[in-house]
Structure 1
Amino acid sequence: MEKIIQDIDILDRNSQEAMETVKTSKEENTGQKKKLYIESYGCQMNFADSEVVTSIMKDNGYDTTSDFETADVVFLNTCSIREKAEQTVRKRLSQFNKVKKEKPEMTIGVLGCMAERLKDKLLEEEKIVDVVVGPDAYRDLPKLVETAEDGLKAVNTFLSREETYADISPVRLNSNGVTAFVSIMRGCDNMCSFCVVPFTRGRERSRDPHSIINEAQELFDQGYREVTLLGQNVDSYKWSEDENNKAWLEKKEKKGEEVQVINFANLLEMVAKISPDLRVRFSTSHPKDITDEVLHTMKRYENICKYIHLPAQSGNSRVLDMMNRTYTREWYINRVDAIRDILGQECGISSDMIAGFCTETEDEHQDTLTLMDYVRYDFSYMFFYSERPGTLAAKKFEDDIPLDVKKKRLQEIINKQQALSLERNKLDIGQVQRVLIEGRSKRSDEQLQGRNSANKVVIFSRENYQKGQYVNVLIEECTTATLFGKVVS
């Protein structure tokens, strides 16, 4: 069981719904007076937010450190999507507070989704943090830290309907110098009954496309060769001057010019046109919103990666309705068929699956397994249902599936995915695939690793190749998680 989970976790780190991971801030010494330490938990959006936070703090007199014991300010950027993430954060906070007893001038802050949900408990009941800041209030952090240093309660969890941090240039943390995240929107309007995100991140709002293009262009000019466009639901990206820039709209109207609405397909194309050597990925897609226009745009540009993370959550229409996913099994299959028809069988598809949602029957669980057989996912993120306080499901439904049944069903889903991953990877053997080198393999300094267009890790001999290069690799072997090959001309 442990080996299976490990293999599946290695497969992909580009999912919005990925298992909890931790990232610490880099060491930077530019002569600033104070030190910031920051850790991120949960999804890529949290990692991207931490880069925004670091930029804000850097502009206010902070360098970063990789050792929290030397920091003046310690931030945990948190996730509430699963119970395990919150437990991990609490353990980490207890470690920080042990250091704070010897160093009382240290300021500890909790940011992000957990901050939004548990602000009163963290600040007043448990008194284990000094600062609590929600995802839309990061500009206020320097002032809030000063407030905490004066011994006062420092909290701002206000959810904005406008904030996108479009004007802030993120500080890239733990960057490999090759791949980077670019946030294109914030919040979520989908009220999935199991999810806390709409309550912790607020309503959807799309970022100015010009700022997105500028950021991606700057990354390319700095040597980055892949950007991942991030949003809770990228397919609902929509930006127009009439909604986002009233003054500009008035000028357009006076001239009698039409107002252009930029959707996600348009944005994808704009980013792809920066350079054919800049790879473009995105995450996450919602099955109800992904369009044929997006798929045709992906087909038209070779540098838009042929990989889609398309969370299903369940293979049964009744359960999907209870989850308020707003699509049926049949609709989901229709979207998968469109992906295969337009982009071909080689397009990578991954998913999220929840085992043991409220009232799920054994037959409905089998529907999830048969959906997996139909789609033949390259990889998936799989969990048993964990009730989250404040969600619609917690308010409306009883969490009535016994834990042992949840675990049994989850194991069956994991076993199914392991077999499918191996099957899909075997299809790559004998193919020559273009791989972007990201750095050394974690297992050997004599090997390099990168990813192919379908987001699969490829390992090959180091020789004289360097990260940031594209190489053509003949795939010779595979495991459930990784492809192995050799570079060819």
Structure 2
Amino acid sequence: MKREEIVIPAADIARQRDFQEKIKAMFAARQAHPAACVETFGCQQNVADGQRLMGMLEACGFTFTEEAREADLVLLNTCAIREHAEQRVFGNLGILTHSKRENPEQVIVLCGCMAQEERVARRVRESYRHVDLVFGPQALWRFPELLWQVYETKKRVFSVADEHGGIAEGLPVVRERGVKAWVSVMYGCNNFCSYCIVPYVRGRERSRDPRAVMEEVRQLVEAGYKDITLLGQNVNSYGNDLEGGFHFPELLEEIDRIPGDYWIRFMSSHPKDATPRLFDVMANCPHVAKQLHLPFQSGNNRVLGEMNRRYTREKYLELIRYARSVMPELVLTSDVIIGFPGETEAEAMDTVSLVEEVGFDALFTFLYSPRPGTRAAELPDPASREDKQRWFDRLLEVQNGHSARIHAGYVGKTVRVLADGESGDEAFPLSSRTEGNRLVRLKGDKELIGRFLDVRITGSNTWALYGEPV
């Protein structure tokens, strides 16, 4: 598609503001004060989407509650990556029959990646008739218009057509209070990994205008946010659809020039598009955190081929060696799938051996979860669940031991952290993060939240460090 067909015209965004005003006026005429309950599942991209959905609801006159029974509107912003998340959503939809029965005027909304799947939309249409509005990620910017249709027609509305997807600038947003913020730099995915549903539900890759991204980051820094994460299904592909050779490393360099005391992170990266140029920029930009989340998924080349990952074990190790050569202090994390269809025990152990060779600081580990509509879901899968669990347990044993040893090496050292919230731990009441995104639980008063601090590490375990301000 042409670039001008991807960017949503400003007039269409303005039309959505008109619908926001109509909904707000409707409630004002009733002398009503509507409340919305918004629950977001899944990745940080979903979190960013949820904040824009809340922004549009606020513009429609809604306040917010965490109790579905108190809400005039309940919105579930869903994830389609794993079966467990899907079952949780259907369970929540079932529970909402009770609040709908108590308040027949309550509007129930299902949106996000899961809603975009045809089989899910069909199931909701047929079996969850109390759900009023269903739409996918590509229709998010039209939420006020779709919601107005529900109120005006008193009928159910479904907007789940298979679309390429667009870029909508200027949507309102309600961000969490604190020091962390999420900025989407691109949407969609062109990779079609054989196990992943994302390209089918979020459309093709499309990059935001760099000027819009930089302005959003600038406003966040000026508003006091200090830990900002740039988001994309594959941020390394940023700029492939833009003219002028402006790609993700160039975007990082431009953002780094914004004055202020803050960290920039990004996720997720794809190894096939990660380059020495990216790592050089990370090393040379003081605001860019020396932290890299680079999913490798499998340490076996045959399995990587079946996954359609388009790199090899050797290529991945080469990338890691270079990244560490220019950033010796780099904190490295990754995603791993165990039990991909057809994977043997020896191939799973290749993944374990890669983990041992690299020495990751932390891993996000998953037993393979088949997603209907993907190629991997149709592959033969002779290994038993028990065997896969045994391989998975071995992976966890290796990684947890390594994480514990890394953390133990911090005891007695002084590190710089950003205090970002309360921990719920009586002895160490504050939560903080290092530049490498390590969790550090702190002693201290909550007045320290939002400040960069030097902290002496006094203890550790597999998942966290413990310390006190110097």
TM-score (norm: length of structure 1)? 0.86
Secondary structure of the corresponding residue to residue 155 of structure 2: coil
Is 1:208 equivalent to 2:209 in the alignment?
Answer: yes
| Partner residue, 1:387 | 370
The amino acid across from 2:426 in the alignment is S
The amino acid across from 1:46 in the alignment is N
Residue number among 310, 314, 330 corresponding to 2:314 in the alignment: 330
Residue number among 317, 326, 334 corresponding to 2:301 in the alignment: 317
| Partner residue, 1:377 | 360
| Partner residue, 1:366 | 349
Q: Distance in 2 between matches of 1:450 and 1:32?
A: 41
Secondary structure of the corresponding residue to residue 238 of structure 1: coil
The amino acid across from 1:171 in the alignment is V
1:328-353 deviation line (CA, Å, top 9, x unaligned): 11111111111111111x31111111
Is 1:272 equivalent to 2:256 in the alignment?
Answer: yes
The amino acid across from 1:386 in the alignment is S
| Partner residue, 2:145 | 143
Residue number among 452, 465, 469 corresponding to 2:451 in the alignment: 469
1:386-413 deviation line (CA, Å, top 9, x unaligned): 1110011123x12332111111111111
TM superposition shift of 1:312: 1.1
TM superposition shift of 1:417: 1.2
**Paired residues for 1:12-411 under 5 Å:** 33-117=33-117, 118-149=120-151, 150-161=153-164, 163-172=166-175, 175-238=176-239, 242=243, 260-344=244-328, 346-395=329-378, 397-411=379-393
Q: Which deviates more, 118-127 or 96-105? A: 118-127
Q: Conserved in 2, the CA contact under 8 Å of 1:207 and 1:239?
A: no
Residue number among 400, 405, 409 corresponding to 1:418 in the alignment: 400
The amino acid across from 1:36 in the alignment is A
Q: Distance in 2 between matches of 1:324 and 1:380?
A: 21
The amino acid across from 2:460 in the alignment is C
- Residues matched between the structures, number: 438
TM superposition shift of 1:239: 6.3
Closer, same or farther: CA 321–352 of 1 in aligned 2, 3 Å? same
Structure 1 residue runs of 4 or more that deviate by more than 6 Å after TM superposition: none
Q: Conserved in 2, the CA contact under 8 Å of 1:450 and 1:458?
A: yes
Sequence identity (%): 37
Q: Conserved in 1, the CA contact under 8 Å of 2:300 and 2:350?
A: yes
Q: Conserved in 2, the CA contact under 8 Å of 1:132 and 1:157?
A: yes
Closer, same or farther: CA 199–405 of 1 in aligned 2, 3 Å? same
The amino acid across from 1:165 in the alignment is A
Q: Which deviates more, 79-88 or 56-65? A: 56-65
Q: Distance in 2 between matches of 1:81 and 1:192?
A: 12
Closer, same or farther: CA 205–225 of 1 in aligned 2, 3 Å? same
Is 1:428 equivalent to 2:410 in the alignment?
Answer: yes
Q: Distance in 2 between matches of 1:128 and 1:412?
A: 45
Q: Distance in 2 between matches of 1:449 and 1:125?
A: 43
The amino acid across from 2:255 in the alignment is V
Closer, same or farther: CA 348–467 of 1 in aligned 2, 3 Å? same
Q: Conserved in 2, the CA contact under 8 Å of 1:194 and 1:394?
A: yes
1:276-310 deviation line (CA, Å, top 9, x unaligned): 40210111111111111111111112221111111
Q: Which deviates more, 270-279 or 403-412? A: 270-279
| Partner residue, 2:425 | 443
Q: Conserved in 2, the CA contact under 8 Å of 1:209 and 1:239?
A: no
The amino acid across from 1:153 in the alignment is R
1:160-198 deviation line (CA, Å, top 9, x unaligned): 4452233224211xx242111111110011110000000
TM superposition shift of 1:429: 2.7
Q: Conserved in 1, the CA contact under 8 Å of 2:141 and 2:171?
A: no
Secondary structure of the corresponding residue to residue 277 of structure 1: coil
Closer, same or farther: CA 430–381 of 1 in aligned 2, 3 Å? same
Q: Distance in 1 between matches of 2:306 and 2:416?
A: 42
Gaps of 5+ in 2: 1-27
The amino acid across from 1:74 in the alignment is V
RMSD: 1.9
Q: Distance in 1 between matches of 2:65 and 2:256?
A: 35
Closer, same or farther: CA 446–84 of 1 in aligned 2, 3 Å? closer
Secondary structure of the corresponding residue to residue 246 of structure 2: strand
Secondary structure of the corresponding residue to residue 326 of structure 1: coil
1:206-234 deviation line (CA, Å, top 9, x unaligned): 11111111111111121111110011111
Secondary structure of the corresponding residue to residue 262 of structure 1: coil
Q: Which deviates more, 149-158 or 71-80? A: 149-158
Secondary structure of the corresponding residue to residue 274 of structure 1: coil
TM-score (norm: length of structure 2)? 0.89
Closer, same or farther: CA 185–279 of 1 in aligned 2, 3 Å? same
TM superposition shift of 1:142: 2.3
TM superposition shift of 1:50: 0.5
The amino acid across from 2:354 in the alignment is L
Q: Conserved in 2, the CA contact under 8 Å of 1:32 and 1:62?
A: no
1:232-280 deviation line (CA, Å, top 9, x unaligned): 11111006764xxxxxxxxxxxxxxxxx332111111222221240210
| Partner residue, 1:250 | none
Residue number among 445, 462, 466 corresponding to 1:480 in the alignment: 462
Q: Distance in 2 between matches of 1:159 and 1:96?
A: 28
Q: Distance in 2 between matches of 1:373 and 1:425?
A: 16
Secondary structure of the corresponding residue to residue 292 of structure 2: strand
